[in-house]
Structure 1
Amino acid sequence: MTADDRVYYVISDLHIGGDEQLEDVEFLDELLEFLKTLEQTEENAELIINGDAFGLWEFTTVDGLEKFDVLEDTYPELFEQFKHTGENIDITLLPGNHDHELAAYQEYVDRFAQYNVDLVQDESIKRPIGEHAIHFEHGHQQDANNRIDDWGSPHATPLGYFYNTLVTSRAGQLSDRGRYNWLKDVQAVTPTERMPVWLLSKYFYREMNPLLRYSIVPFLLLFNISAILAVLAGLDLLGIWSAPVTQGTEFLGQFGRAGTAAWFFLAINVAVTGLLLLVGVPLYFIRRDIRKTITRFGIFETELTVDPETPYKSAAEQIFKDDPETAIFCYGHTHRPSVQSVNGGLLVNTGTWLKRLHRRDGIIGILPPVFHPSYQLAAVKIESTADGGIGVEYEEMKKPSPAGEELTRTERFFTVGREPVPDLPDRTVINPEQAEQSQSTAPQLEQ
């Protein structure tokens, strides 16, 4: 691999397109602005779109090349901007799992070429960087639930395919029926095990009748206190310890009707909580025993979601071992922007341009958790440094947080002080030559 002064800009996981509400691209303006910047750059640059640029799995009413026609008609300004940007720099597109069909039809290569986009129908590509190289792949081939065993087959249907065609696309069709158009954010829920909790959260804070929600909030807020009171009431009924109940009744009695009203409210709350505890305790032990039995038989041995780190670290270690000139393993798929050192090289995840959801538990009681939305729109810039090293930097496209519009007052109130502050990795510089000379397994990093 010869020296090369080329600069690489890498983005992935745009997930553009899909049924009905999924066609709304909330970051389209920022993406167009980013492409316009590259249209004007004087750098020797290449833009690599590292998989899942398009949500072809989420189209369920059209097939094959018809999906490209829909994309052209829906996002004409995007494809026109591809053409202009591609006149100035090279644009390379790799298929991901959501748009694996791009690897299945030669016609896609020809159609993208009309917009100066080079569609490479391979699982991965390699690019020179100084005296070393970068390995690019989307990452789903390291994920057992989304791996394409018959690469390039138009009939490839891993487990993730069914989830997205049956769940994600359906969410796009139904999203506008809600009190707020929130169901289309289903793609931002990771890992997928959080889906039931997310649905419960959005139902409680968005879809539940407001009168019903505000009437049960006091009970939910007081659940922890009521659980203690229920235990004390039980001790009183059994004649074991009556002092707390007697003293509490006498204390509230000093306030006349207000005290009586408070006593009845607490009594109802304690009764409900007591019933829940009576039912919940045995159910907990039954559930625990069932889980142990299932684990013993190995029925759920394979998890539904990808391990966001281990498979990729192992893959990078193998690439670095088999091809010593490769210094960087760059992937996407998991939607988690990160940079970490692996055996003298760097493992780089490009993140996603989709909305990200951060789970936050409420400050009091057993209210459903809140999923705070945010954006981390970034392109990873990889370039050689003057001293022979390789620099990796996240260039962020600022977009205001949607939390103010998408979270209810209740959600904001119960998570005050717990708002997420997402940030991107700092600039990292690796010098493979020095690492080799020192015979160290850890790269020399500067941040």
Structure 2
Amino acid sequence: MTTQADGEAHPGADDRVYYVISDLHIGGDEQLEDIEFREELLTFLESLEETDEDTELVINGDAFGLWELTELDGPAKFDALVETYPTVFEQLRATGETVTITLVPGNHDHELAAYDTYVDRFAAYNVDLVQTESITRPLAGREIHFEHGHQRDPNNRIDDWGNPYDRPLGYYYNTHVTSTAGQLSDRGRFNWLKDIQAVTPTEWMPLWVLSKYVYREMHPLLRYALVPFLLLFNVTALLAILVGLDVAGVYAMPTDAVQGFLGQFGRPGTVAYLVLAVNVTLAGILLLVAVPLYFIQQDIKRTIDRFGLFDGDVTVDAAKPYETAARELAAERPETAVFCYGHTHRPDVTEVDGVCLVNSGTWLKRLHRRDGVTGLLPPVFYPSYQLAAVRIDADTDGIAVEFQPIEKPNPAPEELTLTERLLTLGRKPDPDLPDRHVVDLDRSEPKSSVPGETTGTGPEPVSEQQE
């Protein structure tokens, strides 16, 4: 197994400009074969083809979804990729005549490290496939470390690197769940199931399926009848609390106001008041039951956490393993200035022991969880794109790391139903790419490109309101 220290070194130019992209996940069964960012990728590659700088493009893992091509084996998958995406491969060939293109295997395309024939096949398209876990590149007298990042994830780590039959837990999830989703996606009212690759953390997948059922697959008449009912329940629950305050002699004005208002309408008002009174009674009972259930639920959760029963979650922590790896690398290889990885799909820049830790993000759609205003309907998973290439080059003050955004229209207007848009009014995510970051070569405090700004975004929190 190739260790981190054994990563392939490269003698290239010490003043070269590096561009990094990762997690394209090109390829897969049936509906997964669609590349929603095809035009943006081609435009980006064309721009590199026209550069006059000494440039290297590093595709840092999971360029291809080989795990999701379940009906083919070995290098036959390469033939399928070329046949399905001829314009992409021809543009790689054209761009590779001007700049160096280096491809590093990830977990989804680990097979690239398992068959030597892949090296020659990619070389025909001017792509230098390396079959090691990591590579290094020189810059300004220092070093950039590249790895995909899945080796820090116990659910996707390849213990026997280069063995095509070494299959971690993530392999089975993708070949059985993700691939099946691609085969079934076009059977829905809307072709949404193929977006399962964008669901992170993986534990949210069942909730995401429930959300898409309610907002996409449920009959529209049922959905439009359900929303006002749940809104009415929320109002009734509020009234139940106010009635409780009235009964306790704390605050009587709201109930008096309701009685006075409905009393103006005579018998219909009396009927409405009785219906409301029954609803308030039921809501009050539910609220009384909910209080002890809530405390029981919290106690059960604390007990589970204490015993560590769910410590083996499917999703790796988005930051900690990589911060630890950066600290270890800073101690073992002091010449390291930048540690570049992908895998978690979260674009980020932060400083760890003098090493710039940068995640290049993903070109897949990103789904941001937003709980609806009713509190009872499933959350809305709001889609967006954060397409970007990371540019790393020498700066007068050190080594500059900068995200260069690649514009793509917001998919939300076409992909969200009217109900989802209404429930997320004022709650739309506004994901930003990290600011430009400069690493001081003397390992002093890193410098931000804009006065007063921090040097990085820090780890992006994964909460119930985000992702």
* Structure 1 length-normalised TM: 0.91
Q: 1:145 to 1:410 in 2, by over 3 A?
A: same
% identity of equivalent residues: 66
Q: 1:295 to 1:422 in 2, by over 3 A?
A: closer
With 211-220 and 95-104 compared, the bigger mean Cα shift is at: 211-220
Q: 1:212 to 1:233 in 2, by over 3 A?
A: farther
Q: 1:7 to 1:17 in 2, by over 3 A?
A: same
Q: Residues 37-56 of structure 1 correspond to what in structure 2 (within 5 A)?
A: 37-56=47-66
Consecutive unaligned residues of structure 2, counting only runs of 5 or more, are 1-10, 451-467
Distance in 2 of aligned mates of 1:29 and 1:314 = 37
Deviation for aligned residue 1:379: 0.7
Amino acid at match of 1:214: Y
Report the equivalent of 1:428.
437
Contact 2:437–2:447 (CA under 8 A) maintained in structure 1: no
Contact 1:355–1:373 (CA under 8 A) maintained in structure 2: yes
Is 1:206–2:216 an aligned residue pair? yes
Q: 1:39 to 1:272 in 2, by over 3 A?
A: farther
Contact 1:130–1:388 (CA under 8 A) maintained in structure 2: no
Report the equivalent of 2:457.
none
Report the equivalent of 1:11.
21
Report the equivalent of 1:443.
446
Local SS of the residue matching 2:363: coil
Deviations 1:224-254 (A, max 9, x none): 3322334566899xx8779776774453232
Deviations 1:13-46 (A, max 9, x none): 0001111111111001110111111111111111
Local SS of the residue matching 1:57: coil
Is 1:333–2:343 an aligned residue pair? yes
Report the equivalent of 1:393.
402
Q: How many residues align?
A: 438
Distance in 2 of aligned mates of 1:366 and 1:79 = 47
Could you say what the CA RMSD is over the residues aligned between the two structures, in angstroms? 2.5
Contact 2:23–2:61 (CA under 8 A) maintained in structure 1: yes
Deviations 1:202-236 (A, max 9, x none): 12211111111111212212333322334566899
Is 1:131–2:141 an aligned residue pair? yes
Report the equivalent of 2:165.
155
Report the equivalent of 1:89.
99
Contact 1:50–1:96 (CA under 8 A) maintained in structure 2: yes
With 144-153 and 278-287 compared, the bigger mean Cα shift is at: 278-287
With 115-124 and 169-178 compared, the bigger mean Cα shift is at: 169-178
Amino acid at match of 1:443: P
Amino acid at match of 1:66: A
Q: 1:352 to 1:318 in 2, by over 3 A?
A: same
Contact 1:345–1:432 (CA under 8 A) maintained in structure 2: no
Report the equivalent of 1:102.
112
Q: Residues 178-327 of structure 1 correspond to what in structure 2 (within 5 A)?
A: 178-230=188-240, 248-249=258-259, 251-256=261-266, 259-260=269-270, 262-263=272-273, 266-267=276-277, 269-270=279-280, 273-274=283-284, 276-277=286-287, 280-281=290-291, 283-327=293-337
Deviation for aligned residue 1:162: 1.6
Q: 1:417 to 1:295 in 2, by over 3 A?
A: closer
Distance in 2 of aligned mates of 1:275 and 1:70 = 60
Choose which of 339, 354, 362 in structure 2 pairs with 1:352: 362
Distance in 1 of aligned mates of 2:162 and 2:65 = 17
Contact 1:372–1:403 (CA under 8 A) maintained in structure 2: yes
Deviations 1:109-141 (A, max 9, x none): 121111111110100000010101100000111
Q: 1:262 to 1:443 in 2, by over 3 A?
A: same
Is 1:57–2:67 an aligned residue pair? yes
